[in-house]
Amino acid sequence: IYFLFQRMVLFAVLVITTLALLFHWQFISIYGYWRRKGFPHLPGRFPFGSSRDMALLGRYQGHVLQDFYNRLSPNPFGGFYIWNYPFLLLSSPEMVRIVMAKEFHHFRDRGRLEASSNSPLSNHLFSLDGDLWRAMRIKLTPAFTSGRLKHMYSLFDICAKKFEESLQRNVNETVDIKALVSGYAQETISSCAFGLELTPTISEQFSKVTQTIFPQCVHMERKIQIALVLMFPFIEKLSAFNFLNKDVDEFFLSLVKDTVKYREENNVRRNDFLDLLLQLKNKGTLDTGDKEVAANTEQSNVEMTPAMLAAQCFVFFVAGFESSTSIISNCLYELALNQDIQQRVRDEIDLVTKRYEGIVTYQSFQEMPYLQQVISEVMRKYPTLPLVTRKCTKRFPVPDTDLVIDEGTKIMIPFYAFHHDPKFPEPEKFDPERFSPENKSTIEPYSYLPFGEGPRLCIGNRFGLLQIKVCLYTFLRNYKAIYANKIDF
């Protein structure tokens, strides 16, 4: 028995050693990928790849990719590794133009983690790839025109009045501005997306959802999940593997289902996002008055199922809440630090308010160029997304080189690194004059990417900007932001 036990132990040791060697060999073999392809690259080291911080999400991804960007300079692109997966980093505006616009048909997919498809909320526009993305984009584009926003403006106005009331309750108080602004963001999303009044109960539910969604990449469980999917892609296919919390799925599916049922039973119509989605569900198109747009929308072969409706509302909430809250908070932070800039914005607001005799409209916000300059500079200094990804869907020979990007290659475009490149003089300085009419034209195309570029440009950028402007206008019309002496970060 003892002899048999020894043989079993020896066999187990041999198996484990063999598997470990094969595992190590796989990594080492993959770490030669970019060298064999002839691309400039950063070396990979077992087991994390080119950066432990990138693999373990131990540091802000924007800063890590900025380091990569600087190390690869002056090359227009270069390879790196996360765990045992090769990525291509773009480091020149011209390569960004090629990937995001000029040769978009080679790079139209984001290359999402397939594990996300196990959530019914995963089939939203930001996540979709291929023909399904194109069909959904065609369907949704008419919902985000300037004309639609004009019809929706009355909803923003109601939310602004409620935000004004919350400001009055906190006059001369030291407040966490992000917490205050997040209430406004929840209010606008509730009204403009779901047609709901933000009651304390709904607000609490939304808060629970945001706490579940946004910090999840920091949690160790999520880090392990992402690492496993990158190292072992077959895990993506497992039906039980879902990056979203099931409570999030259930909340949004139930919310949309109940709201749709109420509207259809009571023939309720509102100029909000869900109303437009219901038009798409029931008619296959939107009432735009444009026959060409209607024809294109009808030909878009994608069914707006209840789950598909919920998925679009979900991403509307995620994008509209987090990005607007962040941008507004950073605007007020910078204005508090730069009182001269704040006063100039307030002077512009006063001028436009008098021009419209105190009754602001959608058009009013088109006549505040300096406010737009401030927002543009905030989106440069504090980009909402540090990066976006693309996936090569068709073998691509790189122009003016002998290099080829293989089909399936995942690409990262580092927004933060581009926005903090020294091509923007003193990039860490807050300077809205970069976006003045005379200076804006000097910015190199595709080096400033607040909403992305090309056919996958953020479809909701007009909505987001209006949401931000209404909030800043409401605040700065009657109040001044002042930096507190003590802030606990």
pLDDT in the model for residue 294: 47
Helices 306-337 and 273-283: angle between axes, nearest 10 degrees:
150
CA terminus-to-terminus distance, the chain:
63
Burial class from Cβ neighbours inside 10 Å (0-12, 13-18, 19+) for residue 290 reads: middle
Of all helices (H) and strands (E), which one includes residue 413?
Answer: strand 410-413
Q: What is the dihedral of CA 112, 117, 120, 126, to 10 degrees?
A: 20
Type of residue found at 239: S
Alpha carbon 120 to its chain centroid, in Å, reads 19
Strands of the sheet containing 388-391, edge to edge, are 77-82, 85-90, 410-413, 388-391
Buried/exposed code over 250-283 (b: 16+ C-beta within 10 A; e: otherwise)? ebbbebbeebbeebeeeeeebbbbbbbbbbbbee
pLDDT in the model for residue 237: 57
Among 344, 400, 331, CA closest to 95: 400
pLDDT in the model for residue 292: 44
Q: How many angstroms separate the CA atoms of 290 and 308, rounded?
A: 25
pLDDT in the model for residue 160: 95
Among 471, 473, 462, 433, CA closest to 352: 473
> What is the DSSP annotation of 296-324?
HHHH------HHHHHHHHHHHHHHHHHHH
458 is in an annotated binding site: yes
Contact indicator for 451, 457 with CB cutoff of 8 Å: yes
From residue 276, how far is each of 154, 304, 376 by CA, in Å?
A: 16, 11, 29
Vertex 29 angle, CA 23 and 31, to 5°: 105
Residue ranges of domains in the chain, CATH in brackets: 1-108+394-422 (no CATH), 123-383+450-478 (1.10.630.10)
pLDDT in the model for residue 427: 98
pLDDT in the model for residue 195: 81
pLDDT in the model for residue 84: 85
Looking only at the bridges linking them, the beta strands covering 388-391 and 85-90 are unpaired
Among 313, 367, 276, 328, CA closest to 464: 328
DSSP one-letter code for 406: P
Of all helices (H) and strands (E), which one includes residue 85?
Answer: strand 85-90
How many CB atoms are closer than 10 A to CB 113? 18
Helix (H, G, I), strand (E, B) or coil at 342: helix
Please give the chain's pLDDT, 489 residues, in tens: 656 666 676 767 676 766 665 665 666 788 999 999 999 999 999 889 999 999 888 899 999 999 999 999 999 999 999 988 999 999 999 999 999 999 999 999 997 654 455 678 888 898 889 999 999 999 899 888 999 899 899 999 999 999 999 999 888 778 888 888 999 999 998 888 888 877 777 777 787 777 766 654 455 555 556 665 655 555 555 545 556 677 788 888 998 899 888 888 888 888 788 888 888 888 876 554 444 444 444 555 677 888 888 999 888 888 888 899 999 999 999 999 999 999 999 999 999 999 999 999 999 999 999 999 999 999 999 999 999 999 999 999 999 999 999 999 999 999 999 999 999 999 999 999 999 999 999 999 999 999 999 999 999 999 999 999 999 999 999 999 998 765 544
pLDDT in the model for residue 226: 60
Q: How many angstroms separate the CA atoms of 34 and 40, rounded?
A: 7
Helix (H, G, I), strand (E, B) or coil at 74: coil
pLDDT in the model for residue 217: 46
Q: How many angstroms separate the CA atoms of 85 and 229, rounded?
A: 10
